[in-house]
């Protein structure tokens, strides 16, 4: 691949998916795109890029974007966000939404489904604390191919052994030959949609919790700020935003503030200032008379 071709690919990925490809990512390009070169019978990376330049092959364009933006994922990745989910977000929202008994969760970079399913498993495990509640999880991703995999809920032996406790495997999966499939009941808890975070997502409505982990890292500062600003509009003041362990909102937006002591967890500025949302929220809600409707 020539420097010129690499530059073209950089611009192509930036405009089409927002992905920022730094110059040291040549190896990544090769490992991700060589399989496409072979399967599309173009043989070399140069041929792939020349075809992209002609702009006549939509399928190839989609394949390249998907291959470059797909991330590895595993169940209960990083663990902490799921502890925050059970210990901070659910208790706070249980009080705050006591009259409505509804929770809407959005996984904005659902990838192959492990994150939404992990949240589904958490909700199942906590079900006795949320009697009569309606919970909805939406998983979106840029790539149709990974969404198909997510929807099927079929994972290899390697995939189900990273982060998933064995008891959970027995409880929530069926063995299908060499693979493991998450149960039909769990699959029915999640709705899947193709979505590019660069495009508008107002049509998705409002959520109580948004997981948007390890995806903003691929965008430049301006795009990050812009996406965070639009994410803020999908959340009420007491809603929660979850970012990846290494991600922050500092210097990017005033719309969110870190929840103290909860790494990766953010709330709208107002909610945190009003008294750390998670801690004071439940007490306010009970004292404030929302509780009596139960």
Partner 1 sequence: MKQCLVVDDSSVIRKVARRILEDMNFEITEAEDGQQALDACRSTMPDAILLDWNMPVMDGLEFLTSLRAEDGGESPVVVFCTTENDVAHIARAIRAGANEYIMKPFDREIVEAKFQEVGLI
Task: Give residues in contact with partner 1 (CB under 8 A).
Answer: 74, 79, 157-158, 161-163, 165-167, 169-170, 175
| Shorter beta-carbon distance to partner 1: residue 156 or 273 | 156
Q: How many CB atoms lie within 10 A of CB 15?
A: 10
Nearest-approach distance from CB 160 to partner 1, in angstroms: 9
Nearest-approach distance from CB 167 to partner 1, in angstroms: 7
| Shorter beta-carbon distance to partner 1: residue 99 or 157 | 157
Q: Collapse the DSSP code of 139 into the 3-class scheme (helix H, G, I; strand E, B; otherwise coil) and give the result.
A: strand
Nearest-approach distance from CB 75 to partner 1, in angstroms: 9
Query: How far is the CA of 179 from the CAs of 152, 169, 176, 187, in angstroms?
Result: 11, 12, 5, 16
Nearest-approach distance from CB 181 to partner 1, in angstroms: 12
**How does strand 265-268 pair with strand 256-258?**
antiparallel
Query: How far is the CA of 130 from the CAs of 45, 111, 133, 194, 244, in angstroms?
Result: 53, 27, 6, 29, 27
Rounded to whole angstroms, how far apart are CA atoms 62 and 75?
26
| Shorter beta-carbon distance to partner 1: residue 125 or 148 | 125
Nearest-approach distance from CB 182 to partner 1, in angstroms: 14
| Shorter beta-carbon distance to partner 1: residue 76 or 256 | 76
| Shorter beta-carbon distance to partner 1: residue 174 or 220 | 174
| Shorter beta-carbon distance to partner 1: residue 166 or 184 | 166
| Shorter beta-carbon distance to partner 1: residue 17 or 111 | 111
Nearest-approach distance from CB 166 to partner 1, in angstroms: 4
The total number of residues shown for the chain amounts to 294
Q: Which residues are CB-contacts of 23 (< 8 A; sequence separation ≥ 6)?
A: 6
CA angle 241, 135, 292 (to 5 degrees): 95
Query: How far is the CA of 140 from the CAs of 59, 132, 137, 191, 262, in angstroms?
Result: 20, 26, 10, 8, 25
> Which one-letter DSSP state was computed for residue 203?
G
Nearest-approach distance from CB 124 to partner 1, in angstroms: 18
């Amino acid at each position: 691949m020539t420097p010129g071709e690499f530059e073209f690919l950089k611009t192509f990925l930036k405009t089409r998916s927002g992905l920022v490809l730094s110059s040291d990512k040549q190896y990544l390009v090769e490992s991700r795109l060589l399989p496409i070169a072979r399967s599309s019978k173009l043989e070399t990376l140069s041929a792939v890029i020349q075809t992209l330049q002609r702009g006549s092959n939509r399928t190839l364009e989609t394949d390249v974007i998907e291959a470059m933006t797909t991330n590895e994922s595993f169940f209960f990745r990083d663990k902490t966000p799921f502890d925050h989910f059970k210990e901070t977000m659910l208790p706070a929202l249980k009080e705050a939404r006591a009259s409505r008994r509804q929770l809407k969760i959005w996984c904005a970079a659902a990838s192959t489904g492990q994150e939404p399913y992990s949240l589904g498993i958490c909700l199942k495990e906590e079900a006795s604390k949320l009697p009569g509640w309606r919970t909805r999880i939406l998983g979106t991703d840029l790539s149709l191919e990974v969404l198909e995999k997510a929807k099927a809920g079929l994972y290899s032996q390697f995939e189900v052994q990273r982060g998933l406790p064995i008891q959970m495997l027995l409880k929530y999966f069926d063995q299908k030959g060499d693979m493991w499939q998450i149960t039909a009941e769990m699959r029915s808890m999640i709705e899947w949609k193709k979505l590019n975070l660069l495009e508008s997502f107002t049509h998705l409505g409002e959520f109580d919790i948004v997981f948007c982990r390890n995806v903003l890292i691929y965008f430049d500062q301006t795009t990050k700020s812009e996406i965070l600003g639009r994410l803020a509009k999908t959340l009420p003041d007491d809603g929660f935003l979850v970012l990846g362990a290494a991600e922050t909102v500092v210097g990017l937006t005033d719309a969110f503030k870190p929840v103290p002591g909860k790494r990766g967890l953010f709330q709208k500025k107002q909610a945190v200032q009003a008294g750390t949302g998670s801690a004071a929220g439940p007490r306010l809600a009970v004292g404030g008379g929302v509780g009596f409707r139960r």
